[in-house]
Amino acid sequence: MEKINVYEKPTCTTCRKTVKLLQEKGYEFDRINYYIKPFTKNKLKTLLKKMDMKPSELLRKNEKAYKELDMKNNSYSEPQLLDKMVANHDLVQRPIVELGNKAVLARPVEKIEELFKQTG
């Protein structure tokens, strides 16, 4: 089996549930705290492509940073949103679970199952 990567914020409840589920199922995986090892623009673009998502679909809209940047009232392009997400990690939904050429936003946690069905 290919390596599983979990991009997380360890204090996030959904991230902790994701890690617990993977451990219970006996999967080996790497945990990447993207606050310590930040996303590069290229890495976030790659993950978005693997999830078949646009930056606007991965945006955390309930975050303080979203409100502070008045993102609701600004018409940012997808590339501009990507830049803002790379610059401010709080804007990125989590956790993201990556396996080979596929990835899922594990919200809810059960979405991980889709990843294993996709990869066979």
User: What 8-state DSSP symbol labels residue 89?
Assistant: G
Q: Which of the residues 2, 12, 52, 101 is marked catalytic?
A: 12
- Which residue is listed with tokens 């899922």? 104
Residue 12 known to be catalytic: yes
The rounded distance, in Å, linking the Cα atoms of 92 and 58 is 6
Whether residue 95 contacts residue 15, with contact meaning beta carbons closer than 8 Å, is answered with yes
Please give the positions annotated as active site: 12
